[in-house]
Chains A and B, each alone.
Chain A
Amino acid sequence: MHDALTRAGRALRLALLIVLALLFLIPFYLLVRNGLATERDITAPGWTLFPHTLQWSNLTEVFRDPNLPLGRTLLNSTLIAVSTTLGTVLLASLAGYGLARIPYRRANVVFYAILGTLMVPAAVTFVPSFVLVSSLGWISTLRGLVIPTLFSAFACFVFRQYFLGFPKELEDAARVDGLGYWRTYWRIVVPNARPVFAAVGTIVFIGAWNAFLWPLVIGQDQESWTVQVALSTFTTAQNLNLHELFVAAGVSIVPLVVVFLLLQRYIVAGVERSGIDD
């Protein structure tokens, strides 16, 4: 009796999970379906599961359309996401290591000044940051798009927590061998902390690739548009080709899905170990 109930409960739970999983996958399916369909198949009255004709040429057409500078915006997004990720990981890991491992009388004051900015949502700083960046003359430049976003208190916090739990014996051995803080960091700490670098790097990369408000505000001429800003602009364009828009949107998530599938293990472990829920 009890056994049968448990088994029924388990089957019910599995069925519910499968339904939810399908619901979560539908948007991805629509992205692919509409990206490979003809314009007529997308807008025909009466929606069908599969388009009548698969139009693979959409994939190349979208890169040749002169009204849609997809290649350029993808290049901008790549430059921004890569430099943001490298810069953030470097700056935040150095600061996190210093805070965790170099004894300094006022280290706690510095740490709380950094942590305090986590409480300041971007909603509050975007007007003043725009004011600062525009007075520096950085509107529509790579500098303006990247540099102000490099100082992530969240990343610094995650690195500090990680280094606090890092086995001290390794570093002590390095110190005995006469290595200073700098060389200990580069030769001992970094190579042994690869998982946290991968986790923070991936989260920062996803955030930078998907960022919208800041690139919208700072990237004012078309030359400096990211792929997100471009997509957003096309959705309100008058002479819109839906199939092209869907291909462009699909292409824009490919880099992330690849990064994501390759590094998922680290993201999950990194989030779990980040200590944000402790």
Chain B
Amino acid sequence: MAAPGAGPRSLGARLLGPQRRNLWFWLFVGPFAIGLGLFTYVPLAWSVYLSFFDAHNTVSPAGSDFVGLGNYGAMLGDAAFLGSLGTFVLFTAFIVPATYVLSLALALMVNRLRFARAFFRSVFFLPTACSYVVAAVIWKLSIFNGVRFGLANTVLGWFGADQTAWLSTTDPPWYWLVIVTVRLWLQAGFYMILFLAGLQRISPQLYEAAAVDGARPGWQVLRHITLPQLRATSVAVVLLLVINAFQAFDEFYNLLSDARGYPPYARPPLVYLYYTALGRDQNLGLGSAGAVILALIIAVATVVQARWFGLGRKEE
């Protein structure tokens, strides 16, 4: 496959590289890299550009008024947008620790089983096959519906509790229970698998040494051996959980919206942007500004988290 003929220093030969390696590299990587650039980098740049225009109903700034930072000012002064960020923070503060604890607990229990391990692992992983839409159908129309045929109200009724309109009660905010349990059910199994993989890699000798040193099995071993050994897995799980929480859309949209529209409470950023950019107004300039603000927040949060957890630092 060596390049014959061509002079060793000719431009063509240099572009192709020794044994035409550069050519082959780009034949393999090129289609993917070009597509990724076209469908990730180009839209981002376009969005930044569009965010300076008053673009309604159109995706091209031509013919729209240049408003400079006006869209950014409008977004940052918009109580609804700031409220959507607040919703996200609240949602993340609930769902990240809850999923972390549940999936780690499942992994620890499943890992120590002597039999039926594959069965339990499958049961907890199976919800991964369900979409948020399907889960929302079950949660909204069978478990947590306000009327008397809902499972939650039936069970509570056995204990003499009153019926609750789960999804429309804002004080106390019972709808959070519905939103959080859907996500827990759908994602805990996936993170359990990551923790199981991490547990497999811990050397049994560490546990033997701990037993010799007199560490009591249970809490002490968990705290001094298992958790430190799972550090890398934990960092990855927390990062993935936060990124996924930022993208929360499906369950909010499917659980809370109905034929009359979306209630003003509990809109995370993505739901808010969806209604701003693609709702009746089609205000794409404003929506783009919101997306850029969100991107900056996420970039800062990612860097801070990476520093905090020492991501990329060499393992000691």
Show the binding face of A for B, using Cβ within 8 Å. 6, 9, 13-14, 16-17, 20-21, 24-28, 30-31, 34, 42-47, 91-92, 94-95, 97-99, 102-104, 107, 110, 113-114, 117, 119-132, 134-135, 147-148, 150-151, 153, 156, 180-182, 185, 206, 209-210, 212-213, 217, 228, 231-232, 235-238, 242, 245-246, 249, 252-253, 256-257, 259-261, 264, 268, 271-272, 276-278
Contacts and interface: CB of A to CB of B under 8 A. Distances in A.
The 8 closest A-B pairs by CB, nearest first: A98-B28, A128-B43, A128-B47, A210-B131, A95-B32, A47-B154, A272-B197, A104-B25
A94 B254 contact: no
B32 A260 contact: no
B32 A92 contact: yes
A94 to B, nearest CB: 5
Chain A interface, DSSP helix/strand/loop, else mixed: helix
B29 interface: yes
A212 B250 contact: yes
Given A27-B143, A119-B302, A42 B149 contact: yes
A232 B253 contact: yes
B304 interface: no
20 contacts: A27-B139, A31-B134, A46-B154, A94-B32, A95-B29, A95-B32, A110-B33, A120-B295, A121-B246, A122-B247, A123-B273, A123-B294, A128-B291, A132-B38, A236-B259, A242-B141, A249-B133, A268-B125, A276-B240, A277-B233
B248 to A, nearest CB: 8
Contacts of A213: 249-250, 270, 274
Given A30-B138, A128-B46, A132-B42, A13 B109 contact: yes
Given A17-B110, A95-B28, A181-B28, A231 B133 contact: yes
Nearest to B42: A132
Nearest to B47: A128
Nearest to A212: B250
A99 B29 contact: yes
Contact of B39 (A42, A95, A148, A272): A148
A147 to B, nearest CB: 8
A120 B185 contact: no
Contacts of A16: 109
Interface of B: 1, 17, 21-22, 24-25, 27-29, 31-33, 35-36, 38-44, 46-47, 50, 59-60, 106, 109-110, 112-113, 120-143, 147-151, 154, 185, 189-190, 193-194, 196-198, 200, 217-218, 232-233, 236-237, 240, 243, 246-247, 249-250, 253-254, 257-259, 269-270, 273-274, 277-278, 284, 287-288, 290-292, 294-295, 298-299, 302
Given A119-B302, A151-B39, A21 B124 contact: yes
A25 B109 CA distance: 18
Given A128-B291, A131-B47, A272-B193, A277 B237 contact: yes
Contact of B132 (A123, A212, A237, A276): A212
Given A47-B154, A249-B137, A91 B31 contact: yes
Contact of B129 (A135, A150, A182, A260): A260
Given A94-B29, A128-B46, A271 B142 contact: no
B214 to A, nearest CB: 13
Contact of A124 (B31, B113, B121, B295): B295
Nearest to A117: B40
A135 B60 contact: yes
Contact of B197 (A245, A246, A249, A277): A277
